[in-house]
Amino acid sequence: MEPFALHRGTSPLILAFPHVGTFVPADIAGRLNERGTALVDTDWFIDEVYDGLMPDATTIRATFSRYVIDANRDPEGTSLYPGQNTTTLCPTIDFEGQPIYHEGQAPSPGEIEARRIAFHTPYHAAIRQEIARVKSEHGFAVLYDGHSIRSELPFLFEGKLPDLNLGTNDGATLLPAMEKRALEIANQSGFESVLNGRFKGGWTTRHYGQPDKNICAFQMEIAQCAYLKAELAPWALDDQKCAQLRPILKLILEALLDEAANAFAQTGEQS
* pLDDT string in tens for the chain (271-residue length): 899 999 999 999 999 999 999 999 999 999 999 999 999 999 999 999 999 999 999 999 999 999 999 999 999 999 888 889 999 999 999 999 999 999 999 999 999 999 999 999 999 999 999 999 999 999 999 999 999 999 999 999 999 999 999 999 999 999 999 999 999 999 999 999 999 999 999 999 999 999 999 999 999 999 999 999 999 999 999 999 999 999 999 999 999 999 999 999 876 544 4
Distance CA 36, CA 94 (A): 8
pLDDT in tens, 1-15: 899 999 999 999 999
Backbone angles phi, psi at 9, to 5 degrees: -105, -175
Pairing outcome for strands 164-167 and 215-223: antiparallel
What confidence score (pLDDT) does residue 268 get? 57
Contact 73, 30 (CB under 8 A): no
Summarize the chain as % helix, strand, coil (round to 5).
35, 20, 45
Backbone angles phi, psi at 145, to 5 degrees: -100, 115
For the chain, how far is it from start to end, CA to CA, in angstroms? 36
DSSP 191: S
Contact 30, 74 (CB under 8 A): no
Contact 216, 259 (CB under 8 A): no
Contact 62, 204 (CB under 8 A): no
Distance CA 201, CA 203 (A): 7
What confidence score (pLDDT) does residue 267 get? 67
Q: What value does the mean pLDDT of the chain take?
A: 96
What confidence score (pLDDT) does residue 82 get? 87
Segment (H or E) for 135: helix 121-138
What confidence score (pLDDT) does residue 83 get? 87
Cα 175 to chain centroid distance, Å, stands at 19
What pTM did the predictor assign? 0.96
pLDDT in tens, 156-213: 999 999 999 999 999 999 999 999 999 999 999 999 999 999 999 999 999 999 999 9
